Structure 1
Amino acid sequence: HHQSGHNSGVIHSGIYYTPGSLKAKLCVQGAALCYEYCDQKGIPYKQCGKCALLSFLKLIVAVEQDEIPRLKALYERGLQNNVRGLKLIGAKEIQAKEPFCR
């Protein structure tokens, strides 16, 4: 058998889940374990993420001014969930990481 086409193959960081919830804890732990396992076994993977909030090489962008409070709330939630590598970045750094992100 083969992998279903219904699986996006995304490794979730845990940023979207309620702080302290089992789902948040398991996402954070699972992501770290998954990348560690792939590194140990030489399994290639791509951390492409989403296209400002940088989380384990995932980029989440506020496109409109009114989206900035939601972005900041995600950042705070990520901090509460101990999401690795989380930081807020500005437009210049976004363009350096994702030149096609507008």
Structure 2
Amino acid sequence: MIFILILGLLFIILAIQFRRGKWSRLIAGNTFGDRPKEKVDKAAKTVSNLLIYIGLEFIISYFLDVFIKKGAKISLIGLIPIIIYAFYMIFVYLKAYLKNEI
């Protein structure tokens, strides 16, 4: 279970670096070499927001599991907004990609 805490902290660190404009090459599917900096920053900020939420969810899940033994079931409720947001962002980026805006 300590792995979940470490993973949550790593996600928070990655999110901070993405928000600062660093480490954007770590984003999967990165083809930012020929893109304007504004587009790269927008994508990095979007990924950063998602990583912060997931990192906090992992950290909360860890502490719920340590202090309340059924905490993992409670924290699954927090995954529903992540799934909805992920599908929404996939749809938005796919639509923009098909229009060659990205």
Higher helix share: 2
Above 0.5 in TM-score? no
Larger radius of gyration: 2
Q: TM-score, normalised by structure 1?
A: 0.30
